[in-house]
């Protein structure tokens, strides 16, 4: 046999996949398909194909690096197997030690944002200054303009880092607000029954 037998045929998007791999390695934030296509000077459809190839190559159990679809883009992360080692390397990830107040503030911004500190305080019933400052410092929320009124308060929105930290593909991956908690009607009835029970 004078010609070596080729068992695996080269995938037509293999070259593109290698380019995307390189792009994802140098990026510090998730890259959208459009951004990848633009940087690779290729078309979005082929980029998606190549990402499929990479997704299979970089997956849990197969590689120490995992490709994930997060925060509206694609990014590499460490495999979960390596979590302990990463934990020893990282001094303080963004999400460590988030207080209850910070989480409540974060949910308000995530669901109702952009919204201002007074709006957050109104819902939570306590001033939101320190919680907002903490979230800003961690980069989970960012300023997003001001309220319309003159001298309007600064408004905040969640950042792509928020989606990334919580492993959300996008903000739409949050549970529907209507599915959480009681409705006003249910609460009103409960309040009513307490009031009646007391006077009875």
**Segments in 90-173 forming alpha helices (H):** 100-112, 117-124, 129-138, 160-165
Among 2, 4, 149, 183, binds another protein (CB under 8 A): 183
Helix/strand/coil for 148 = coil
| Distance in angstroms (rounded) separating the CA atoms of residues 76 and 67 | 5
Contact between 64 and another protein by CB under 8 A: the answer reads no
Stretch binding another protein (CB under 8 A), from 4-12, 14-22, 51-59, 181-189? 181-189
Peptide linkage before 114 cis (omega within 30 of 0): yes
Asked if residue 167 binds another protein (CB under 8 A), the reply is yes
Interface segment toward another protein; rule CB under 8 A; list 2-10, 40-48, 49-57, 81-89: 81-89
44 binds another protein (CB under 8 A): no
In the set 12, 127, 137, 152, which binds another protein (CB under 8 A)? 127
Residues 6+ apart with CB under 8 A from 117: 127, 128, 129, 132, 153, 154, 156
Cβ neighbours of residue 81 closer than 8 Å, sequence gap 6 or more: 60, 61, 64
Q: Is 34 in the site for another protein (CB under 8 A)?
A: no
Whether residue 166 contacts residue 134, with contact meaning beta carbons closer than 8 Å, is answered with no
Q: Report the distance separating Cα 108 and Cα 110, nearest Å.
A: 5
Residue 154 is a binding residue for another protein (CB under 8 A)? no
Among 48, 72, 76, 169, contact with another protein (rule: CB under 8 A): 76
Out of 14, 45, 56, 182, the only residue in the binding site for another protein (CB under 8 A) is 182
Under 8 Å CB-to-CB from 59, ≥6 apart: which residues? 66, 67
Q: Rounded to the nearest whole angstrom, what is the least distance from the CB of residue 130 to another protein in the complex?
A: 8
164 binding another protein? (CB under 8 A): yes
Short-list 52, 56, 69, CA closest to 164: 69
Candidate residues 22, 44, 123, 133; the one interacting with another protein per rule CB under 8 A? 123
Give residues in contact with another protein (CB under 8 A): 27-29, 31, 35, 68, 75-78, 80, 82-83, 86-87, 90, 93-95, 98, 100-101, 103-104, 106-108, 110-111, 121-127, 139, 142-145, 160-161, 164-168, 174-175, 177, 180-188, 191-192
């Amino acid at each position: 046999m004078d010609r070596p037998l080729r068992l695996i045929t080269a995938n037509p998007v293999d070259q593109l996949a290698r380019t995307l791999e390189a792009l994802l390695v140098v990026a510090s934030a998730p890259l959208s398909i459009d951004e990848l296509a633009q940087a690779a000077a290729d078309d979005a459809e082929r980029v998606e194909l190549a990402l499929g190839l990479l997704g299979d190559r970089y997956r849990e159990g197969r590689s120490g690096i995992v490709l994930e679809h997060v925060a509206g883009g694609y990014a590499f992360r460490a495999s979960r197997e390596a979590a302990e080692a990463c934990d020893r390397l990282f001094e303080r990830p963004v999400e460590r030690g988030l207080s209850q107040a910070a989480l409540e503030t974060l949910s308000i911004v995530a669901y109702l944002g952009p919204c201002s500190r007074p709006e957050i305080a109104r819902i939570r019933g306590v001033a939101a200054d320190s919680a907002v400052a903490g979230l800003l410092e961690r980069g989970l929320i960012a300023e997003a303009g001001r309220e319309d009124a003159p001298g309007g308060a600064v408004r905040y929105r969640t950042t792509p880092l928020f989606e990334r930290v919580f492993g959300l593909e996008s903000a739409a991956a949050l549970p529907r607000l209507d599915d959480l908690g009681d409705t006003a009607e249910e609460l009103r009835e409960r309040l009513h029954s307490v009031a009646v029970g007391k006077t009875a």
